[in-house]
């Protein structure tokens, strides 16, 4: 058994592990050992379906020290007019370059791919008989968020007889043609499966969509590193949110203003998991009319799909595409900094790499665990519609705490992982021009701040009403 020694033992070289280590390298002289079961960095991106893309701009994804993509605007396709979205291969290649050209070349990082961590500083190779024991100062769990893709687990329902079922990964390499497709699931993966089939000229009449819960979806045009994006969010989410009387009114007002989208305007969603689409993608999704809302699939056999609240017919010429499951498993929040153990979690809703980068900066810049945990309160991945309010409120509270710390506030203003930084830097220029009388922009910024404060107070009131009504 090889004996190793390091300051930080990091388990996982996925996006969060990489973003955390990037900040450690930039802000400390620490040595790092990274262990991962995959053969290259990138975590679940190594297992994802080949046609997957980021659901947010490449401009604020990856690690802080290296730009992903070229900040270009897509000129074609369903993302036309918006900032580019990196492909699966681009993301994997990017993280591999960061590992090879930045981490390893620093001389302070040792990387052990294709290895399984056994706990207590012990890990072993998945390809040889080699075993390792590490003496470390701190252990970093970068796997706690536990991203699981359909191709790496069995279907969460029974398959009987000769029923045909495949994970989404197999859609580009099917060995035969099918007369029909049944998409099982209602999240981002299912959305991508439907869009893939329609893009490849499968008639919408040949697609059935089993949707256990309808979901509120974000408009990707409002998640861009531009002033226009802030303006759209102000008029479609913040202002309506500040004027809502109750929770039903809250979602109704924001939906009518375009701040939250849904596939069927006649069905009230009960799920929210940060899925994003463009208006063009939404129009494509609405072409699929055969949507089944009978709960989750329990079993599929040669002639029937059995669901929680009924059944529907099927046949052996139909491919059932497994897009079920949550992807990000629901894990209880735990203290992020706990003496020799650091457990990476989100501290901003659905912004895992930003969160990991901020945690790396806090670890490098602050000494006391109590102070670090005060600054870094976990924000669990959302699941229900109410989580939209709960998580937005948690985000506001965290952000207020961060801006009270001058050095952390400066990191936020300069970090490319913080989508606000792309706008904050330009805002300073605009304030100068406005002060010179060249742009009437300060009034709009003040209006946005006032509306945000009112929306925050109203979300807190609505959540209190929700709790008291139970």
Place of tokens 């974000």: 218
Please list, in sequence order, all residues whose beta carbon lies within 8 angstroms of the beta carbon of residue 255, skipping any fewer than 6 positions away.
216, 261, 262
Alpha-carbon distances, residue 349 vs 61, 129, 142, 394, 396 (angstroms)? 14, 41, 17, 8, 10
CATH superfamily membership of 150-214+278-322: FAD/NAD(P)-binding domain (3.50.50.60)
Contacts of 290 (CB under 8 A, 6+ apart): 205, 207, 208, 209
Q: What is the mean pLDDT of residues 393-420?
A: 94
Predicted pLDDT of residue 128: 97
- State the pLDDT at residue 456: 87
Q: What is the DSSP letter of 439?
A: -
Q: Helix or strand or coil: residue 432?
A: helix
Decide: 185 and 322 in contact? Cβ < 8 Å: yes
Instruction: Name the pLDDT band for 433 (thresholds 50, 70, 90).
Output: very low
Is the pLDDT reported for residue 442 higher than 50?
no
Is the pTM higher than 0.95? The answer reads no
Mean pLDDT across the stretch 107-116?
98
pLDDT value at residue 233: 82
**Residue 87 confidence (pLDDT) above 70:** yes
Is residue 431 very low, low, confident or very high in pLDDT (cuts 50, 70, 90)?
Answer: very low
Residue among 206, 202, 155 at smallest CA distance from 182: 206
Domain-by-domain residue ranges, the chain?
2-147+329-382, 150-214+278-322
- Give the E-state strand segments of 113-214 in sequence order: 115-119, 122-125, 131-141, 158-159, 164-167, 180-184, 207-210
**For the sheet containing 164-167, what is the strand order?**
164-167, 318-322, 180-184, 207-210, 290-292
**Most confident range, picked from 220-234, 333-347, 414-428:** 333-347
What is the arithmetic mean of pLDDT over 452-467?
A: 86
pLDDT of residue 448: 60
3-class secondary structure, 11: strand
Answer whether CATH 3.50.50.60 is correct for domain 2-147+329-382. Answer: yes
Task: Give, as one character, the DSSP assignment of residue 303.
Answer: S
> Average of pLDDT values for 405-430?
81
Average pLDDT of 30-41?
98
Q: Kindly report which listed range (190-194, 331-335, 442-446, 447-451) carries the lowest average pLDDT score.
A: 442-446
Check whether 439 has a pLDDT greater than 70: no
Q: What are the pLDDT digits (tens) for 263-282? A: 999 999 999 999 999 999 99
pLDDT tens-digit readout, 219-237: 999 999 887 887 788 789 8
Q: How far apart are CA 205 and CA 257, in angstroms?
A: 31
CA distances from 304 to 91, 163, 242, 291, 300 (A): 39, 9, 47, 16, 6
Tens of pLDDT, residue by residue over 181-198, are: 999 999 999 999 999 999
């Amino acid at each position: 058994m090889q004996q190793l020694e390091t300051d930080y033992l990091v388990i996982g070289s996925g996006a969060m592990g990489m973003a955390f280590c990037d900040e450690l390298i930039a802000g400390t002289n620490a040595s790092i050992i990274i262990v991962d079961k995959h053969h290259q960095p990138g975590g679940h991106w190594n297992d994802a379906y080949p046609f997957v893309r980021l659901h947010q701009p490449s401009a604020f994804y990856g690690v802080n020290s290296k730009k992903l993509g070229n900040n270009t605007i897509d000129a074609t396709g369903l993302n036309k007019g918006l900032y580019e979205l990196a492909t699966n291969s681009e993301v994997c290649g990017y993280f591999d370059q960061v590992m090879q050209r930045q981490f390893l070349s620093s001389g302070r990082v040792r990387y052990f791919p294709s290895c399984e961590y056994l706990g207590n500083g012990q890990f072993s190779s998945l390809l040889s008989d080699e075993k390792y024991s590490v003496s470390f100062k701190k252990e970093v769990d970068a796997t706690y968020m536990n991203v699981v893709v359909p191709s790496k687990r069995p279907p969460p329902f029974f398959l009987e007889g000769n029923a045909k079922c495949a994970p989404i990964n197999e859609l580009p390499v099917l060995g035969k043609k099918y007369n029909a497709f049944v998409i099982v699931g209602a999240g981002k993966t299912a959305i991508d499966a439907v869009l893939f089939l329609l893009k490849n000229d499968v008639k919408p009449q040949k697609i059935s969509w089993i949707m256990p819960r309808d979901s509120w979806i974000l408009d990707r045009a409002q998640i861009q590193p531009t002033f226009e994006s802030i303006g759209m969010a102000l008029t479609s989410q913040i202002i309506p949110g500040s004027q809502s009387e109750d929770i039903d009114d809250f979602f109704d007002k924001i939906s009518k203003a375009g701040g939250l989208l849904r596939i069927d305007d006649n069905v009230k969603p009960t799920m929210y998991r940060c899925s994003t689409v463009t208006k063009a993608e939404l129009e494509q999704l609405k072409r699929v009319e055969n949507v089944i809302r009978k709960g989750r699939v329990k079993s599929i056999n040669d002639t029937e799909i059995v669901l929680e609240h009924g059944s529907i017919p099927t046949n052996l010429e139909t491919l059932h595409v497994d897009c079920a499951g949550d992807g990000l498993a629901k894990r209880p929040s735990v203290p992020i900094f706990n003496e020799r153990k650091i457990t990476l979690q989100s501290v901003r809703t659905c912004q895992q790499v930003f969160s990991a980068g901020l945690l790396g900066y806090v670890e490098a810049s602050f000494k006391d665990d109590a102070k670090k945990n005060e600054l870094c309160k976990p924000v669990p991945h959302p699941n229900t519609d109410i989580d939209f309010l709960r998580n937005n409120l948690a985000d506001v509270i965290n952000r207020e705490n961060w801006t009270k710390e001058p050095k952390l506030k400066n990191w936020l203003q300069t970090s490319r992982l913080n989508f606000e930084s792309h706008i904050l830097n330009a805002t300073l220029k605009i304030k100068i021009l406005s002060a010179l009388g060249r742009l009437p922009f300060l009034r709009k910024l003040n209006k946005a701040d006032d509306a945000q404060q009112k929306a925050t107070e109203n979300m807190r009131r609505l959540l209190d009403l929700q709790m008291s009504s139970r």
